[in-house]
Amino acid sequence: MSAPETPAPPAPPDPPAPPAPLPFADSLWLAPLTMGGNLPYRRLCVEFGAQVTVGEMAVVRKLLRNDPAEFALLKSHPDEPCFGVQLADRSPDSLAEGARLAESRGARFVDLNCGCPIHEITRRGLGASLLRKPGKVARLIESMAKAVRIPVTVKLRLGWAEDEQNVRSVAKACEDAGAAAIAIHGRTREQRYSRAADWDVIGAVAAERGIPVVGNGDILTHYEARERRRRSGVTALMLGRGALISPWLFRELRQGREWLPTPEERVGVLWRLVELQREHFGVDERGQKRARRFLAWHLDFLHRWRALPEAEFAAEAAEHPLIHRRSPLPDASRPALERLLADPRKATHETLTDALLPCPTRDEALERCRALAASLTFEEGAEEPDASVTPAG
């Protein structure tokens, strides 16, 4: 007689389904921007059509020390359709832990910074210095990918220096290690911002790789975006300084046509940023102090916007990226409000910030800006410096 059958043990629960792949291909990304990519500004860009947003670079060492300022960089808003946390470190274990922290706080993906050119970062073996060690980059990505269910992406430059342009092999190592997408800023670490971004090299990587390659560098207008997309074959684009100068650039790219806002409409955008800041930072003294610092910082980019209609500037853009041109300041024939918004002086940005922050309504914001414009003396014949900065990526 056979032994009575023991009931089968209950089937183990199905493993959780892998998360659906994120819509990285054919998307518009707001670049990771230290200082500039704060939560209210990211929301403003989302309202204008950014589909993927990346947080400011978070240093894992500081996260592991429980530094609250670093933890603030992991925070996103439900309005952000696809937010990723960017991490900087060089240890597989630390990055695995950093990725877990990002995932636990709601990030939809986690990005490894391999582009930061700043000495303070590269001398520790982080950021762009990783480009010199493709094998190490691969191990870091593998470790992050094993630690979390969300996709892991990586942001690269072309290489460390012009004679060390190894982005093609680094990109291959990243894909083989499990990266879900690769963003490429088309310059080397040594070039910083001095040269035009090389979209042909970005295109060569895109042609070789099976995962989305996100092109980045020098996009200031919708027609430059169109030309670079066509030339390189990438479908996803990442905007950095262009989005800081004109957050509405996302809308222009999505609609494929330019929007040249009036000064009044630009005050409306500033006002919207003030509203979003108020919601995030709060209206108490501490919150307003932070809002003041960020708004004045943003004005240092926003004031650089100039109308660059395609019909007039497409030929020049074909020669050299428009972001590198020096724009004349609007002269006395232009409306005072336009001159106020283009004023490059730090003191003006601070006065404008102080005028905008306490305004209860958009109409009052406009009224105050008009009054301020009427009271300012502008510099004649001055020229705006180009948009070069010393940022983290």
Ligand X SMILES: Cc1cc2nc3c(=O)[nH]c(=O)nc-3n(C[C@H](O)[C@H](O)[C@H](O)COP(=O)(O)O)c2cc1C
Q: Point out which residues bind ligand X (CB under 6 A).
A: 31-36, 56-57, 86, 113, 115-116, 155, 185, 216-219, 239-242, 389, 391-393
Q: How far is the CB of 56 from ligand X (least distance, A)?
A: 5
Q: How far is the CB of 333 from ligand X (least distance, A)?
A: 31
151 or 242: CB nearest ligand X: 242
Q: How far is CA 289 from CA 149, 268, 360, in A?
A: 38, 22, 17
Of the candidates 56, 55, 150, 134, the one whose C-alpha atom is nearest the C-alpha of residue 96 is 150
Q: How far is the CB of 36 from ligand X (least distance, A)?
A: 5
55 or 330: CB nearest ligand X: 55
Helix, strand, or coil here: 5? coil
Contact 295, 273 (CB under 8 A): yes
Q: CA-based Rg of the chain, rounded to a whole angstrom?
A: 23
243 or 336: CB nearest ligand X: 243
Residue 116 a catalytic site member:
yes
How distant is the alpha carbon of residue 197 from its chain centre? 16
Please tell me which residue in 45, 82, 114, 116 is annotated as part of the active site: 116
CA distance 128 to 122: 6
Residue 81 burial (CB count, 10 A): 14
197 or 373: CB nearest ligand X: 197
Residue nearest to ligand X (CB): 393
Give residue for tokens 């996100």: 214
Q: How many CA atoms lie within 13 A of 280 on its CB side?
A: 24
Q: How many CA atoms lie within 13 A of 285 on its CB side?
A: 0
CA distance 337 to 240: 26
CA distance 97 to 310: 47
313 or 378: CB nearest ligand X: 313
Q: Which residues form the catalytic set?
A: 116
